[in-house]
Structure 1
Amino acid sequence: MNRANAHASHATIGCAPLPACSVPARREKLRLAGTLNGIDYVEVGDDGISLCVHLFGDIPQGLGMANVRITGGDRITGLRVLSVNPELEPDMHDDACLRVLLDREGDHTAYCLCLVDAASGNDPAGWLVYPGFDPRYACATLHFRLDCAKTLDCADEAPCVKASPPAPEINYLAKDYASFRQLFLDRLALDMPAWQERHVPDLGIALVETLAYTADYLSYYQDAVATEAYLGTARKRISVRRHARLVDYRMHEGCNARALVTLASSNDLSLELANLLLLAPPSGPGHPQPGVIDAAQLDTARAQGALIYEPMLLDGMTTFDVVAAHSAIRLHSWGDELCCLPRGSTRATLVDTAPPAPPAATDAAAVAPPQRALKLAAGDLLIFEEVLGPQTGNPADADPAHRHAVRLTDVRTSVDPLDGTLLLEVAWDACDALPFDLCLSVRTPAPDCAWLHDVSLARGNVLLVDHGEHVRGQCTSTAICLPGDSDGDYPGLTAALAAMPDACTRCGTLAEDCWLVPGSTQYGCCRCDGAVQDVRRPPADTGHVLPDAPLTWAEPLPPHAPVCRLLARDPRQALPQLAVYGGALADVLVAGTPDPRWRWLPRQDLLESGPDDRHFVVEVDDDGAAHLRFGDGVLGAQPQAGDFFRAASRIGNGPAGNVGRDSIVWLALKSGVLSAELQPRNPLPASGGTAPESLAEVKLYAPGAFRAKSLRAVVADDYARFAAQAPELQGAAAALEWSGSWYAVDVMVDPLGCENLPSALARRIRTQLERYRRIGHDVEVHAACYVPLRIALFVCVLPDFLVAHVEAELRDRFGTGLRRDGTPGFFHPDRLRLGAPVFASALLAEAQSIAGVAHVEVTTLVRAEGGDDGVPDDGVLHLAAREIAQVDNDPDHPDHGSISFDMGGGR
Structure 2
Amino acid sequence: MNAANDGVSLGAVGCAPLPRCSVPARRERLHRAGTLNGIDYVEVGDDGVSLCVHLFGAIPPGLGVAHVRVSGGDRITGLRALSVNVEDEPDLHDEACLRVVLDREGDHTAYCLCLVDASSGNDPASWLAYPGFDPRYACASLQFRLDCAKSYDCATAPSCVSPAPALAEINYLARDYQSFRQLLLDRIALDMPAWQERHVPDLGIALIETLAYTADHLSYFQDAVATEAYLGTARRRISVRRHARLVDYRMHEGCNARALVTLASTNDLSLELDNLLLLVPPPNQHDAQSGVIDATRLEAARAHGALLFEPMRLDGVTRFAVVAAHSAIRLHTWGDEMCCLPRGSTRTTLVDAPWPPAPTATPRETTAANDAAEEAAPSRVLKLAVGDLLIFEEVLGPQTGNPADADPAHRHAVRLTDVQTSVDPLDGTLVLEIGWDACDALPFDLCLSVRTPSPECAWLHDVSVARGNVLLVDHGEHLRGQCMSTAICAPDGRDGDYPGLTAALAALPDACPRCEALAEDCWLVPGTVQYGCCRCEGAVQDVGRPPTDTGHVLPGAPLTWAEPLPLHAPVCELLARDPRGALPQLSVYGGRLDAVLVDGTPDPRWQWQARCDLLESGPDDRHFVVEIDDDGAAHLRFGDGVLGQQPQAGDFFRAAPRIGNGGAGNVGRDSIVWLALKSGLLAAELQPRNPLPASGGTDPETLAEVKMYAPGAFRATPLRAIVADDYAMFAAQSPQVQGAAAALEWSGSWYAADVVLDPLACESLPPGLARTIRAQLQRVRRIGHDVEVRAACYVPLQVELFVCVLPDFLRAHVEAELLDRFTAGLRRDGLPGFFHPDRLRLGAPVFVSALLAEAQAITGVAHVEVTTLTRVDGGHSGEVPDDGVLHLAAREIARADNDPDHPDHGSIAFMLGGGR
Alignment check: 8 A CA contact 1:475 1:509 kept: no
Alignment check: 8 A CA contact 1:343 1:822 kept: no
Structure 1 unmatched ranges of 5 or more: 1-223
Identify the match of residue 402 of structure 1 among 400, 406, 410. Answer: 410
1:884 aligns with 2:893: yes
Deviation at 1:681, TM superposition (A): 1.1
Which residue pairs with 1:848 in the alignment?
Answer: 856
Alignment check: 8 A CA contact 1:380 1:408 kept: yes
Which residue pairs with 1:296 in the alignment?
Answer: 296
| Closer/same/farther in 2, CA of residues 372 and 846 from structure 1, 3 Å limit | farther
| Closer/same/farther in 2, CA of residues 750 and 397 from structure 1, 3 Å limit | same
Identify the match of residue 711 of structure 1 among 691, 713, 719. Answer: 719
Query: Does the residue aligned with 2:338 lie in a helix, a strand or coil?
Result: coil
**Separation in structure 1 between the aligned mates of residue 226 and residue 853 of structure 2, nearest angstrom:** 61
Query: Does the residue aligned with 1:339 lie in a helix, a strand or coil?
Result: strand
1:626 aligns with 2:634: yes
Deviation at 1:289, TM superposition (A): 0.3
Note the alpha carbon deviations across 1:118-173, whole angstroms, 9 max, x for none. xxxxxxxxxxxxxxxxxxxxxxxxxxxxxxxxxxxxxxxxxxxxxxxxxxxxxxxx
1:899 aligns with 2:908: yes
Q: Which amino acid aligns with 2:416?
A: L
Deviation at 1:591, TM superposition (A): 1.2
Identify the match of residue 570 of structure 1 among 574, 578, 589. Answer: 578
| Closer/same/farther in 2, CA of residues 356 and 399 from structure 1, 3 Å limit | closer
| Closer/same/farther in 2, CA of residues 377 and 299 from structure 1, 3 Å limit | same
Deviation at 1:278, TM superposition (A): 0.9
How many equivalent pairs are there?
683
**Separation in structure 1 between the aligned mates of residue 724 and residue 328 of structure 2, nearest angstrom:** 55
Deviation at 1:746, TM superposition (A): 2.4
Which residue pairs with 1:555 in the alignment?
Answer: 563
Note the alpha carbon deviations across 1:208-240, whole angstroms, 9 max, x for none. xxxxxxxxxxxxxxxx99932222332211111
1:490 aligns with 2:498: yes
1:389 aligns with 2:397: yes
1:690 aligns with 2:728: no
**Separation in structure 1 between the aligned mates of residue 897 and residue 435 of structure 2, nearest angstrom:** 29
Which residue pairs with 1:674 in the alignment?
Answer: 682
Which residue pairs with 1:165 in the alignment?
Answer: none
Shifted more, 476-485 versus 768-777: the winner is 768-777
Alignment check: 8 A CA contact 2:370 2:427 kept: no
Note the alpha carbon deviations across 1:164-206, whole angstroms, 9 max, x for none. xxxxxxxxxxxxxxxxxxxxxxxxxxxxxxxxxxxxxxxxxxx
Which residue pairs with 1:264 in the alignment?
Answer: 264
Which residue pairs with 2:309 in the alignment?
Answer: 309
**Higher-RCO chain (CA-CA 8 Å, sequence separation at least 6):** 2
Shifted more, 368-377 versus 591-600: the winner is 368-377
**Separation in structure 2 between the aligned mates of residue 543 and residue 649 of structure 1, nearest angstrom:** 15
**Separation in structure 1 between the aligned mates of residue 711 and residue 316 of structure 2, nearest angstrom:** 40
Q: Which amino acid aligns with 1:888?
A: D
Which residue pairs with 1:636 in the alignment?
Answer: 644
Deviation at 1:527, TM superposition (A): 4.4
Per the normalisation by structure 1, the TM-score is 0.71
1:730 aligns with 2:733: no
Which residue pairs with 1:453 in the alignment?
Answer: 461
**Separation in structure 2 between the aligned mates of residue 319 and residue 748 of structure 1, nearest angstrom:** 52
Query: Does the residue aligned with 1:831 lie in a helix, a strand or coil?
Result: coil
Deviation at 1:257, TM superposition (A): 1.2
The sequence identity of aligned pairs, in percent, is 82
1:442 aligns with 2:435: no
Note the alpha carbon deviations across 1:520-563, whole angstroms, 9 max, x for none. 22232344566554332211110000011110111222333332
Q: Which amino acid aligns with 2:795?
A: V
**Separation in structure 2 between the aligned mates of residue 560 and residue 902 of structure 1, nearest angstrom:** 56
**Separation in structure 2 between the aligned mates of residue 550 and residue 369 of structure 1, nearest angstrom:** 56
Which residue pairs with 1:55 in the alignment?
Answer: none
**Separation in structure 2 between the aligned mates of residue 352 and residue 861 of structure 1, nearest angstrom:** 59
Deviation at 1:365, TM superposition (A): 6.6
Which residue pairs with 1:114 in the alignment?
Answer: none
Alignment check: 8 A CA contact 1:476 1:507 kept: no
Q: Which amino acid aligns with 1:588?
A: V
Shifted more, 643-652 versus 236-245: the winner is 236-245
Q: Which amino acid aligns with 1:728?
A: Q
Deviation at 1:739, TM superposition (A): 1.9
Identify the match of residue 871 of structure 2 among 841, 863, 875. Answer: 863
1:660 aligns with 2:697: no
| Closer/same/farther in 2, CA of residues 800 and 267 from structure 1, 3 Å limit | farther
1:430 aligns with 2:438: yes
Query: Does the residue aligned with 1:796 lie in a helix, a strand or coil?
Result: strand
**Separation in structure 1 between the aligned mates of residue 538 and residue 762 of structure 2, nearest angstrom:** 79
**Separation in structure 1 between the aligned mates of residue 426 and residue 804 of structure 2, nearest angstrom:** 50
Which residue pairs with 2:98 in the alignment?
Answer: none
**Separation in structure 2 between the aligned mates of residue 696 and residue 237 of structure 1, nearest angstrom:** 10
Q: Which amino acid aligns with 1:902?
A: M
Note the alpha carbon deviations across 1:552-610, whole angstroms, 9 max, x for none. 11122233333223222222222111111111111111111111111111111111111
Note the alpha carbon deviations across 1:689-742, whole angstroms, 9 max, x for none. 122122222222222222222222222222222222223333333222222222
Which residues of 2 match residues 20-419 of structure 1 at below 5 A?
A: 227-355=227-355, 364=372, 368-419=376-427
**Separation in structure 2 between the aligned mates of residue 328 and residue 710 of structure 1, nearest angstrom:** 51
1:473 aligns with 2:481: yes
Query: Does the residue aligned with 1:549 lie in a helix, a strand or coil?
Result: coil
Deviation at 1:500, TM superposition (A): 0.7
Query: Does the residue aligned with 1:587 lie in a helix, a strand or coil?
Result: helix
**Separation in structure 1 between the aligned mates of residue 241 and residue 642 of structure 2, nearest angstrom:** 21
**Separation in structure 2 between the aligned mates of residue 325 and residue 828 of structure 1, nearest angstrom:** 46
Query: Does the residue aligned with 1:309 lie in a helix, a strand or coil?
Result: strand
| Closer/same/farther in 2, CA of residues 741 and 365 from structure 1, 3 Å limit | closer
Deviation at 1:413, TM superposition (A): 3.3
**Separation in structure 1 between the aligned mates of residue 640 and residue 379 of structure 2, nearest angstrom:** 64
**Separation in structure 2 between the aligned mates of residue 670 and residue 760 of structure 1, nearest angstrom:** 51
Query: Does the residue aligned with 2:262 lie in a helix, a strand or coil?
Result: strand
Alignment check: 8 A CA contact 2:225 2:233 kept: no
Note the alpha carbon deviations across 1:830-852, whole angstroms, 9 max, x for none. 33333333333333333333343
| Closer/same/farther in 2, CA of residues 788 and 319 from structure 1, 3 Å limit | farther
Shifted more, 516-525 versus 845-854: the winner is 845-854
Deviation at 1:354, TM superposition (A): 2.4
Deviation at 1:494, TM superposition (A): 1.2
Alignment check: 8 A CA contact 1:479 1:486 kept: no
Note the alpha carbon deviations across 1:258-299, whole angstroms, 9 max, x for none. 112112222222222222111111111541000111111111
Alignment check: 8 A CA contact 1:476 1:508 kept: no
| Closer/same/farther in 2, CA of residues 534 and 392 from structure 1, 3 Å limit | same
Identify the match of residue 592 of structure 2 among 581, 584, 590. Answer: 584
Which residue pairs with 1:519 in the alignment?
Answer: 527
Which residue pairs with 1:756 in the alignment?
Answer: 764
Alignment check: 8 A CA contact 2:226 2:235 kept: no
| Closer/same/farther in 2, CA of residues 780 and 358 from structure 1, 3 Å limit | closer
| Closer/same/farther in 2, CA of residues 724 and 521 from structure 1, 3 Å limit | same
**Separation in structure 2 between the aligned mates of residue 837 and residue 331 of structure 1, nearest angstrom:** 50
Shifted more, 275-284 versus 422-431: the winner is 422-431
Note the alpha carbon deviations across 1:43-66, whole angstroms, 9 max, x for none. xxxxxxxxxxxxxxxxxxxxxxxx
Deviation at 1:454, TM superposition (A): 1.7
Q: Which amino acid aligns with 2:233?
A: T
Query: Does the residue aligned with 2:613 lie in a helix, a strand or coil?
Result: coil
Query: Does the residue aligned with 1:540 lie in a helix, a strand or coil?
Result: coil
Which residue pairs with 2:656 in the alignment?
Answer: 648
RMSD of the TM alignment (CA)?
A: 2.6
Q: Which amino acid aligns with 1:802?
A: L
Alignment check: 8 A CA contact 2:589 2:608 kept: yes
Which residue pairs with 1:84 in the alignment?
Answer: none
Q: Which amino acid aligns with 2:567?
A: P
Q: Which amino acid aligns with 1:354?
A: P
